[in-house]
A and B are shown apart, each in its own frame.
Chain A
Amino acid sequence: MTENASIANAAPTKIGRGVPLRGLLRSPSGMAGLVITGILAIVAICSLLGWMPADPAAQDPTSRLQPPGAANWFGTDQFGRDIFSRTASGVANSALIAVIAVGVAMTVGTIGGVVAGFVRGVPDTLIGGVGNVLFAFPPLLLALTLASVFTRNWFTVAIAIAVVYTPIFVRVTRGPVLTLREIDYVTAARATGMGAASIMLRHVLPNITGIIIVQVTLSLSWAVLTEAALSFRGLGTPPPAASLGSMIFDARTLVTVAPWTLLAPGAVLILLVVGLNLLGDGLRDALDPSRKGRR
C-alpha cells in the first residue's frame, strides 16, 4: 500500500557509475538524509554492542509507565522497560532485517535483470513472467501471506520482504542493460571472443551500479516500513526482541495515558524512513544531474 507508494516513479533512468559523494553532500536533501541515517546507524550499532543506558529487555515492575526523565530518557513502558534502549534495539533489529531483505532482493533481482536484458529470448520471457506474477500481488499482502506461511524467525521475515522487492530490482536493471548491450565496447568485447558471463560482469554490471545504489537506498526505506507493518501485525521480528512495529502496537492502548510509549518508536520510525528517502533522492539527483530540482 502506501508503504510502496513510489515504486513506479522511483526507477531512475540515466545513471552512470559509482557514488558521487561530493554531489550528494552538496544537495540539501541528500545531506539531511545522510545525517539522519548516520545518527540512527550509530545508535543502532551502539545498541548491538550493548552500549545502552539499560537492558532493552529488562523489566522493572516498580517503575512502570514512567514519563521521560533523567533515569529513563524516553520513559518506560508497561513492563517498566527503558523505552530509549528498546527503541534503539528496535532500530537495530528493523535495520538488520531490512538490510538482509534488500541484500537478497538486490542480488537475485540484479542477476535476473542483467541476464534478462543481456541474453533476451527465453530467460527474458521467463524472468519477466515471474516478475509480472509477483507484481500482481499488493506488496504488503504478499509479505504478510509469505511471513505467515514460513515458521517465523529473522531470516524468513527477511525473505518474505525480499520476495516483494526482487522484481523491482529486475525491472530497474533490465532497461539500462538493454541499452548497454548495443553499445560499441560491448560489441567489441563480444568480437574479441569474451564470454557472455564475463561481459556482464566486466562491462555491464559496473555501468549500472549507480542505479542499484539508488534503488537499494529507497528499497531500504520501504523494507523498514514493511517490517514495521509486519511486526505491528505480530508477523515480523520474533519477540521478545524489540521492534518499532510491535512497540507501536503495544502502545496503541496506552497512548492516552502514556503518550511517550508511542512517541519514541513512532518518531524514530518516521525519521528512519524519511532519512533513507532523502538519502535516496539525494543520491539520485547527484548521480543524474539532469534530474536536479525536478525529482
Chain B
Amino acid sequence: MTSFLRHALVRRVGGALLTLVGVAIAVFIMLRAIPGDQVTAQFGTEAAALTAEQRAALESYYGLDQPLIVQFFTWIGSVLTGNLGFSARSQQSVLDMTLAALPVTLELAVLSIVLAFVIGVPLGMLAASRPNALRDWVSQGVGLAGLGVPAFLLATTLLAIAASEFGFNPNGRGYAPLHVDPLLNLQQMLLPALVLGFGIAAPIMRTTRTAVLEVRSLDFVRTARAKGVPPRRLQVHHILRNALVPIVTISGLQFGYLLGGAVVVEQIFSLPGIGRQVLLGINQKEYAVVQSTVLVIALLFVIVNLLTDLLYRRIDPRVRAE
C-alpha cells in the first residue's frame, strides 16, 4: 500500500466519521423537535396532573433540565459506552433489542441482495446482448415493473394470495430464528426476500445493461474477440469483470438501504427486524428507542458504503490510481 493510497483511505474513513457525528446531531435535533418531552411521552395525558415539583424532579431525572449541549454529550457518551437507552414498554435495553433484531434484518438483506443479483445481472447482460431487440424490451419491462411496483403493494398481494390460495403463511406462526428452525426460517424469509429482491433487481439490471454496453464497445474487447476468446469467456471474464464497478456500487448502496429501508416489508411479514423496531418505537412514542436505533442504522449504512468503496477499489485497480 503506497502512502498516497493510505492517505486516501484515511481521508475516506475520516469523512465517514465526520458524517456520523453529523448524523448524531441530526437525530438528536430531530427528536428534540417533537412537541412534548420524554415526561409527557411517558405519562401521556396524565402528565397534565403532575405538580410543578414532580415535573421538575422528573425532568432532572431525565436530564431535561440540562442545557441541550450537555444533553447531547451525555447521550453520545452513553452511546459510546454501549448504553443505547432503555425501552420502558418492553422492559429491555435498546442494545439487547438491537442485537436481537439485527441478525433478522441482515439475513433478509443478504437473501434479497443475492436474489436481486441473480435476477438483475443476467437480465441486464441479456438486454445488452442485443440492444433494442425483443429481449432488451422484455428485460427493460421487467426492470420498469421492479421500479414501479411498490414493495408494500407486492408484499400485501403476495401475502394474501399465498395464504388464501395455497395455504402458505409461515409468517403467521411467530418468527423462528435461523439457528432454531432453519427450515421454517427460510420459508418465512422467502416472500419478503422475493419482494425486496425484485425491487432491487431493477436498478441492478439497468446498471448492468449500461455498464456492459459501455465496456463492450472498448478496444480490448474487440482484440479479445479477434484473437478467438470463446464468447462465454468473453462475456464473463472480459466484459462482466470490467463492468462490475458500477454494479457493485449500486448493489452496495441497495444493501445499505435494505438495512434500514426494509421497514415496511418487515412490518407486513411480521419479521422482528431493526426496521420494525423503529416503527414500533415511533408508534409507541418511545423516542429513546427510535433515537438509538436510527443512529445504529445510519452507522451501518455509512459502514456499508465505506466497504463498497473499498471493495471496488479492489476490483478495479484504475480506481485506486485516481
Interface residues of A (CB under 8 A from B): 1-9, 129-130, 132-134, 136-141, 144-146, 148-149, 151, 221, 225, 228-229, 232-233, 245, 248-249, 251-252, 255-256, 262, 266, 269-271, 273-274, 277-278, 293-295
**B156 and A255 contact, CB distance less than 8 A:** yes
Interface flag for B226 (CB, 8 Å): no
Query: Which stretch of B68-76, B80-88, B258-266 is in the interface?
Result: B258-266
**B196 and A1 contact, CB distance less than 8 A:** yes
Q: Assuming A5-B199, A132-B22, A277-B144, is B210 touching A140 (CB within 8 A)?
A: no
Q: Assuming A293-B131, A294-B210, is B203 touching A144 (CB within 8 A)?
A: no
Taken together as a complex, chains A and B put the C-alpha atoms of A271 and B302 apart, in Å, by: 34
Taken together as a complex, chains A and B put the C-alpha atoms of A293 and B210 apart, in Å, by: 9
Q: How far is the CB of B290 from chain A (nearest CB, A)?
A: 7
Interface flag for B152 (CB, 8 Å): yes
Interface flag for B240 (CB, 8 Å): no
**A141 and B278 contact, CB distance less than 8 A:** yes
Taken together as a complex, chains A and B put the C-alpha atoms of A293 and B22 apart, in Å, by: 41
Name A134's closest neighbour in chain B (CB-CB). Answer: B26
Q: How far is the CB of B155 from chain A (nearest CB, A)?
A: 9
Query: Which stretch of B12-20, B40-48, B52-60, B172-180 is in the interface?
Result: B12-20
Taken together as a complex, chains A and B put the C-alpha atoms of A226 and B5 apart, in Å, by: 39
**A248 and B156 contact, CB distance less than 8 A:** yes
Interface flag for B146 (CB, 8 Å): yes
**A270 and B156 contact, CB distance less than 8 A:** no
Q: Which of A129, A133, A245 has the most CB of B within 10 A?
A: A133
**A149 and B196 contact, CB distance less than 8 A:** no
Enumerate chain B residues within 8 angstroms of A249, measured Cβ to Cβ.
156
Q: How far is the CB of B254 from chain A (nearest CB, A)?
A: 7
Taken together as a complex, chains A and B put the C-alpha atoms of A245 and B34 apart, in Å, by: 25
Taken together as a complex, chains A and B put the C-alpha atoms of A127 and B226 apart, in Å, by: 50
Q: Assuming A137-B294, A277-B148, is B202 touching A2 (CB within 8 A)?
A: yes
Q: How far is the CB of A94 from chain B (nearest CB, A)?
A: 12
Enumerate chain B residues within 8 angstroms of A273, measured Cβ to Cβ.
147-148, 150
Enumerate chain A residues within 8 angstroms of B20, measured Cβ to Cβ.
136
**A140 and B263 contact, CB distance less than 8 A:** yes
**Inter-chain contact total with CB atoms closer than 8 Å:** 175
**B202 and A6 contact, CB distance less than 8 A:** yes
Taken together as a complex, chains A and B put the C-alpha atoms of A294 and B254 apart, in Å, by: 22
24 A–B contacts from the bound complex (CB under 8 Å):
A2-B151, A3-B151, A4-B257, A5-B203, A6-B202, A132-B19, A136-B20, A136-B302, A141-B278, A144-B279, A151-B35, A221-B148, A225-B150, A228-B150, A229-B152, A233-B279, A252-B159, A252-B160, A255-B160, A256-B160, A270-B145, A270-B148, A273-B147, A295-B209
Closest 7 CB pairs of A and B: A2-B199, A1-B261, A133-B22, A138-B260, A274-B148, A138-B261, A5-B203
Taken together as a complex, chains A and B put the C-alpha atoms of A148 and B199 apart, in Å, by: 25
Interface residues of B (CB under 8 A from A): 15, 18-20, 22-23, 25-26, 30-31, 33-35, 131-132, 144-153, 156-157, 159-161, 164, 196, 199-200, 202-203, 206-207, 209-210, 213-214, 246, 249-250, 253-254, 256-265, 267, 275, 278-279, 282, 290, 294, 297-298, 301-302
Q: A249-B156, A255-B156, A269-B153 are in contact. List 13 more A-B contacts (CB 8 A).
A: A6-B202, A7-B253, A136-B20, A141-B260, A141-B275, A149-B34, A229-B150, A245-B152, A248-B153, A251-B156, A266-B157, A270-B145, A277-B144
Taken together as a complex, chains A and B put the C-alpha atoms of A190 and B314 apart, in Å, by: 43
**A274 and B144 contact, CB distance less than 8 A:** yes
Enumerate chain B residues within 8 angstroms of A248, measured Cβ to Cβ.
152-153, 156
**B261 and A139 contact, CB distance less than 8 A:** yes
**A295 and B294 contact, CB distance less than 8 A:** no
Q: How far is the CB of B285 from chain A (nearest CB, A)?
A: 9
Enumerate chain B residues within 8 angstroms of A4, measured Cβ to Cβ.
257, 261
Taken together as a complex, chains A and B put the C-alpha atoms of A229 and B256 apart, in Å, by: 19
Taken together as a complex, chains A and B put the C-alpha atoms of A149 and B131 apart, in Å, by: 47
Taken together as a complex, chains A and B put the C-alpha atoms of A149 and B263 apart, in Å, by: 17
Enumerate chain A residues within 8 angstroms of B131, measured Cβ to Cβ.
293-294
**A277 and B278 contact, CB distance less than 8 A:** no
Q: How far is the CB of A42 from chain B (nearest CB, A)?
A: 20
Q: How far is the CB of A236 from chain B (nearest CB, A)?
A: 12
Enumerate chain A residues within 8 angstroms of B35, measured Cβ to Cβ.
151
Q: Which residue of A2, A138, A144, A232 is within 8 Å of B256 (Cβ)? A: A138
Q: How far is the CB of B118 from chain A (nearest CB, A)?
A: 16
Q: How far is the CB of B260 from chain A (nearest CB, A)?
A: 4
Enumerate chain A residues within 8 angstroms of B150, measured Cβ to Cβ.
2-3, 225, 228-229, 269-270, 273
Name B200's closest neighbour in chain A (CB-CB). Answer: A2
Name B18's closest neighbour in chain A (CB-CB). Answer: A129
Taken together as a complex, chains A and B put the C-alpha atoms of A232 and B279 apart, in Å, by: 13
Q: Which residue of A8, A132, A225 is within 8 Å of B203 (Cβ)? A: A8
Enumerate chain A residues within 8 angstroms of B275, measured Cβ to Cβ.
141
Name A251's closest neighbour in chain B (CB-CB). Answer: B156
Name B144's closest neighbour in chain A (CB-CB). Answer: A274
**B263 and A6 contact, CB distance less than 8 A:** no
Enumerate chain A residues within 8 angstroms of B262, measured Cβ to Cβ.
1
Q: Assuming A132-B15, A149-B34, is B148 touching A1 (CB within 8 A)?
A: no
Taken together as a complex, chains A and B put the C-alpha atoms of A9 and B23 apart, in Å, by: 24
Q: Which residue of A9, A140, A251, A255 is within 8 Å of B250 (Cβ)? A: A9
**B257 and A139 contact, CB distance less than 8 A:** yes
**A145 and B282 contact, CB distance less than 8 A:** yes
Q: Which of A1, A225, A277, A294 has the most CB of B within 10 A?
A: A1
**A133 and B23 contact, CB distance less than 8 A:** yes
**A145 and B196 contact, CB distance less than 8 A:** no
Q: How far is the CB of B30 from chain A (nearest CB, A)?
A: 6
**B254 and A5 contact, CB distance less than 8 A:** yes
